[in-house]
Amino acid sequence: MSEPAGRHREDKVANTSVVAGANVVAGADVDAGTNVVTGADMATGTNTATGESTTHSPDFSKIRLDFPVLAREVNGRPLVYLDSAASSQMSAQVAERIDHYHRYEHANVHRGIHSLSQEATDAFEQTRDRVQHFLGAANRSEIIFTSGTTDSINLVAHSYGGSTLRPGDEILLTQMEHHANIVPWQMIAERTGAKILVADVDEHGNLDLDDLRTKLSNRTKIVALVHVSNALGTVNPVQTIIRMAREQGAIVLLDGAQSAPHQPVNVQELDCDFYAFSAHKVCGPTGFGILYGKKELLEAMPPYRGGGEMISRVSFEGTTYEEPPFRFEAGTPPIAAAIGLGAAIEYLQSIGMEQIALRERELLEEATKKLVAVDGLRIIGNPAERSAVLPFVMDGIHASDIGTLLDKQGIAVRTGHHCAQPIHDRYGLDATARASFAFYNSSEDIDRLVEGLEFVKTFF
């Protein structure tokens, strides 16, 4: 009798491949094994070692066509989407791959003996391989599937932190953290008796490394910080910080929700202990995310949740647990979302993360130059290095009013505290408007934003 499908089969079936570059009609059927190549003007070579496209000059005007939502109108005006820091848009290729799973491959994964289950398992586990290469992880067992960055941080806080922290131990955070990288640590500190310290941010939006160094000590057990700030766009010098933490014997968790979508990331080169990001910020589906953890740390951590899939054997006398990654993946997973993330990563790599970073840097520089010329507008912070985020305020106009009036013109920006109240408190603000960019944005989008802001001024 043949063996039931296991965790990961090496004899993978052909899976739909998605390559960026032109429009794919939503709703079209995709046959299994079909390569959905959509960019005639785009080189199709791929580095098989890294998955990165060998294209040197992608045509972003054609790539923009891969996102059908960008062709719609909002309030009678063509949509300008400048809220990718909250959630990026999904390409037609990724949507097609998810649809293909639902139409032709839907079955539960792992252990199923029938062909449909084996095909679903192959597609599901292929995503783990893709994420491993996307992050430069040493081992596929270091890639944990979660429901998002928030879930990933909670897993580390409650499993690693809950099992290692003792009264008097210290957790070091920064003023620019998202609430998802504050609240879980507050919860675990209260439970364990550990203490939270916070490194300051200067008036420009840079992390104060002298203050951070002063607050690091042999009592510091965990340093948890954002790689790129969602509120300011600050790109933190994480390699320097990781080296400083190592000198005190602390482990480091990086919140990568805003770095994974915008720049190449190699966790081995960074030497971080944990790294988390969300699928919906890298052109994938909502409700799914990734936790990278060093193998030796994951193996020593107790499960975060209990149930099916994460066990080796169960009896009423006791239970033995699976090895990572499955130890941390209790219950039936969001299979379609996992497959969607795999397709999204393939899509991004077909463009090239270096090319994406370069494109977004150009957009950020152009937007910064044009927005500072708007009378009465003030961009918050001027960090040494900034990602594709511009937070701003306007004299005498509340952020929510800015957002409302821009929406009337078909322009989508985010307003509020962006789940980062402490950094807003640092600048004495209750809210900002935030324009955030992605590689599918254009110079025309920036001009429409400036035009919209001029209208906001005249309205008030």
- For residues 323 and 321, give the distance between their C-alpha atoms in angstroms, rounded to a whole number: 7
- For residues 26 and 134, give the distance between their C-alpha atoms in angstroms, rounded to a whole number: 26
CA 47 distance to own-chain centroid: 23
How far is CA 74 from each of CA 114, 327, 435, rounded to the nearest angstrom?
Answer: 46, 45, 17
Q: Which of 84, 127, 135 is nearest to 109 (CA)?
A: 127
Biggest distance spanned by C-alpha atoms of the chain? 77
Helices (H), 114-208: 115-135, 149-155, 162-164, 183-192
- Classify burial at 136, counting beta carbons within 10 Å of its beta carbon; exposed 0-12, middle 13-18, buried 19 or more: middle
312's enclosing H/E stretch is strand 311-315
CA 119 distance to own-chain centroid: 27
Question: Sign of the CA dihedral 236, 264, 95, 114?
Answer: negative
Q: Residue 81 forms beta bridges with which residues? A: 412
- Classify burial at 48, counting beta carbons within 10 Å of its beta carbon; exposed 0-12, middle 13-18, buried 19 or more: exposed
φ/ψ region of 60 (left if φ > 0, alpha if ψ in -120 to 50, else beta) reads: alpha
b/e map of 327-350 (b: 16 or more CB within 10 Å)?
bbbbeebbbbbbbbbbbbbbbbbb
Q: Is 366 helix (H, G, I), strand (E, B) or coil?
A: helix
419 in catalytic set = yes
Helices (H), 288-430: 295-300, 335-351, 353-371, 399-408, 421-426
Q: Which of 419, 427, 442, 447 is catalytic?
A: 419
Which of the residues are catalytic? 419
